[in-house]
Structure 1
Amino acid sequence: MDRTAQIRQFLAEHIAEPVADEDDIFALGLVNSMFVVQLVAFLEETFDLQIDGDDLVFENFRSVKDIDALVLRLTGP
């Protein structure tokens, strides 16, 4: 399973409705700030990376596209 599919699957397990890759899951009210803790733990474990410091901003977690860009930046191509 590719990276984006893994992210989509995780979100689908925690969000009751499907989202497009560009949908802002916070603006749509589908998740709250506490969800970021779960999401960060999932990303760190699944993709063997560490998210901290300047990377811990909502802009990195608003959509599948944003999350994927963060993972790609932290893991490389």
Structure 2
Amino acid sequence: MSQDVRGEIRGFIGAKFPSLSFTDEQDIFALGFVNSLFAMELVMFIEKAFATRIPNEELKLDNFRTVTRMTELVERRTAAAAH
């Protein structure tokens, strides 16, 4: 599942910022392209694309800085929903 999640997240960011080149470990906020408005778009995208809800305690910027952290967040949320 992780590769699919990772690919979808990368695709979403790439569609919004086609000229942005980044790795899964790079802080997309530190690159200067991403702002707080886009952070909310990321939250909405993740909730819709992966049929999950991100609770307030998970709405931390650190969970959205890298593709890897967003993938881990989705995996945590889907695992929590399965139990």
- Indicate the TM-score class for this superposition, using the shorter chain for normalisation: over 0.9
**1:52: how far off?**
2.2
Number of the residue aligned with 1:4: 6
Which of 32, 50, 56 is 1:53 aligned to?
56
For structure 1, list consecutive stretches of 5 or more residues without a partner in the other structure. Answer: none
CA-atom RMSD in angstroms? 1.5
Which one has the bigger helix percentage? 2
C-alpha distance in structure 2 between counterparts of 1:37 and 1:52, whole Å: 13
For structure 2, list consecutive stretches of 5 or more residues without a partner in the other structure. Answer: none
C-alpha distance in structure 2 between counterparts of 1:48 and 1:54, whole Å: 18
Q: TM-score normalized by structure 2?
A: 0.86
Q: After TM superposition, which residue ranges in structure 1, 4 or more long, deviate above 6 angstroms?
A: none
The structure having more radius of gyration, on CA atoms, is: 2
Give the length in aligned residue pairs.
77
Matched-pair identity in %: 40
Q: TM-score normalized by structure 1?
A: 0.92
